[in-house]
Amino acid sequence: MGLYGVLNSGVSGMNAQTNRLGTVADNIQNQNTTGYKRSATEFSSLLIDSSPGSYNSGSVDTVVRHMITSEGTSTATTSATDLAIKGNGFFVVKDEGGRYALTRAGNFQVVQPSGDLVNTAGMHLMGYSLAAGDPSPSMNSYNGLVPVNLGTMSMQARPSTLGGISKANLDSNAPITTVGPNYSKATNFTTFDNLGNPVQVDLYFWKTAANTWQVSAYDHSVPGNFPGTPLATSPLTFVNGQLQGSPNLNFTIPNGKNFTFDFKNLTQLASDFQFQGSANGSAAKDVVDSEIGSDGTVYAIYADKTKAAAYRIPLATVASPDQLTPRSGNVFETSPTSGEPQLGFASIGGRGAIESNMLENSNVDLGNELATMIEAQTSYGANSKVFQTGSEMLELLVNLKR
């Protein structure tokens, strides 16, 4: 190869330092980009076989590494929709074309008129709706994900589904009576139907034998409902004043959901009748705020300060995060060497926790980047001198013929 090899080596060295300076430039310009992961240029020698009396100079190859697993520091913000991941995992986002990607940048905002949570690149945060109950995520696909939409969390009614006793007692000295109009004790509680209308449920108790009672639930709004057909009936049996088994009443609230009322805290002691209990659900209320828990659950906060879970945000993991492919918008796509995404929830299976009102900073160290820039500049100049010297020597060799 001789002098031609020297020229090639000089050009190869300059190209390598140009690539190195390119990654430095990207890192410096993105030092304030939320969730940005720095890149680094690594070098690999390419040698040519040489003989003992003649050396053939080779070249250098470059490989760009992305430091994705290196976590940046977090900064507190005033927005509840700013999210950071403390630990392992990525948010799942989708662009307008329906293409999925992964990101650590959690600077999401509500965009109108859709109400979706969208990042600065216009990609939608994806999650599972809790409207139909707890989600069952597919471990290795995006099936079931929908855009997290705070616009749908407007005024809503919450139908009742569960109720129960916090503290209650049936008088053990009450006389025995037959089931019918002459009941032993009665009380009521309020539930809510699908539209938020209150539905009063009346409870009637009969002591049918020693340590044995019967309870029935009636719809208060039905004329002549008592002692007509009850919504549900259950026996209650006591031993030494303690309720046996796990009796409850199961019925459907008119124009509402299936409802279960639990009697587990009911006692039968020689004391006056008392009854304290509650039921979930509420009338229609305005949503005044939202909240995102560390497990990724998105809550609507109503005017009465109660909360309702609406979505749950999953986190995706891959076997080799540093092998993900960066794309515009501060997102990553999977590659054959990164592995396929595995979806799950925060703080489960090695995934990190989700922090609201926080953003992950870039992992760029400006001091290191400036030092690398100086190294690249110096090395580029040295390689250019190699090329210049080789060119001058080649010119001298050509001039020998003249």
State which of 244, 262, 283 marks the end of a domain. Answer: 283
Is beta strand 83-86 parallel, antiparallel or unpaired with respect to 74-76? unpaired
- State pLDDT tens for residues 272-318: 999 999 999 888 887 778 889 999 999 888 877 878 888 999 999 99
Q: Which of 54 and 13 is assigned the larger pLDDT?
A: 13
Q: How far apart are CA 368 and CA 376, in angstroms?
A: 12
Residue 104 shares a structural domain with residue 132: yes
Q: What is the pLDDT of residue 336?
A: 92
Give the three-state DSSP class for 50. coil
Tokens 């918008």 belong to 329
Regarding whether 328 and 380 lie in a shared domain, the answer is: no
Reported confidence tier of residue 31, pLDDT bands at 50, 70, 90: very high
DSSP 8-class letter at 115: -
Same domain, 146 and 79: yes
Does the pLDDT value for residue 183 go beyond 80?
yes
The pair of three-digit structure tokens given for residue 1, joined into one six-digit string: 């190869």
| End position of a domain, from candidates 216, 251, 283 | 283
Q: Are 215 and 204 in contact, with CB atoms under 8 Å apart?
A: yes
Q: Confirm whether pTM is higher than 0.75.
A: no
241 in the same domain as 94: no
pLDDT on residue 51: 65
Average pLDDT for residues 89-102, to the nearest whole number? Answer: 94
Write out the H or E segment, with its range, that includes residue 394.
Answer: helix 366-399
Give 399's DSSP letter. Answer: H
Give the separation between CA 243 and CA 249, rounded to whole angstroms.
15
Q: What is the model's pLDDT at position 50? A: 66
Residues 108-147: tens digit of each pLDDT:
998 888 889 999 889 999 999 987 778 887 878 899 999 9
162 and 276 belong to one structural domain: yes
Q: Could you tell me the pLDDT band of residue 361, with boundaries at 50, 70 and 90? A: very high
**One domain, residues 333 and 236:** no
Give the chain's domain count.
Answer: 3
According to DSSP, residue 141 is labeled S
- 181: preceding bond cis by omega (within 30 degrees): no
What CATH number did the domain enclosing 234 receive? 2.60.98.20
Choosing from 231, 257, 283, the residue where a domain stops is 283
Supply the pLDDT for residue 2. Answer: 65
pLDDT in tens, 212-248: 999 999 999 888 778 888 999 999 999 999 999 989 9
User: Which residues have CB under 8 Å from 135's CB, separation 6+?
Assistant: 128, 129, 144, 312
pLDDT at 46 over 80: no
Instruction: Tell me the C-alpha distance between 173 and 314, whole Å.
Output: 55
User: Residue 279 sits in which domain range?
Assistant: 158-283
Which whole-number Å values give the CA distances from 27 to 67, 330, 363, 366, in the listed order? 11, 12, 9, 8
Are residue 167 and residue 276 in the same domain, yes or no? yes
User: CA-CA distance, 68 to 91, in Å (whole number)?
Assistant: 14
Residue 182 shares a structural domain with residue 222: yes
Q: Under a CB-based contact definition with an 8 Å cutoff, are residues 343 and 142 in contact?
A: yes
Q: 60 and 128 in one domain?
A: no
pLDDT of residue 223: 81
> Are 22 and 64 part of one and the same domain?
yes
Whether residues 78 and 95 fall in one domain: yes
Which tokens belong to 345? 């929830």
Helix H or strand E segment including 84 = strand 83-86
Q: Is the pLDDT of residue 326 over 70?
A: yes
Confidence tier at 75 by pLDDT (50, 70, 90): very high
User: What is the spatial distance between Cα 240 and Cα 244, in angstroms, rounded to a whole number?
Assistant: 10
Residue 6's nearest CA partner among 383, 400, 364, 377 is 383
* 97 and 244 co-located in one domain: no
Would you place residue 153 in the very low, low, confident or very high pLDDT band (cuts 50, 70, 90)? confident
Q: What is the pLDDT of residue 390?
A: 77
CB 89 within 8 A of CB 317: yes
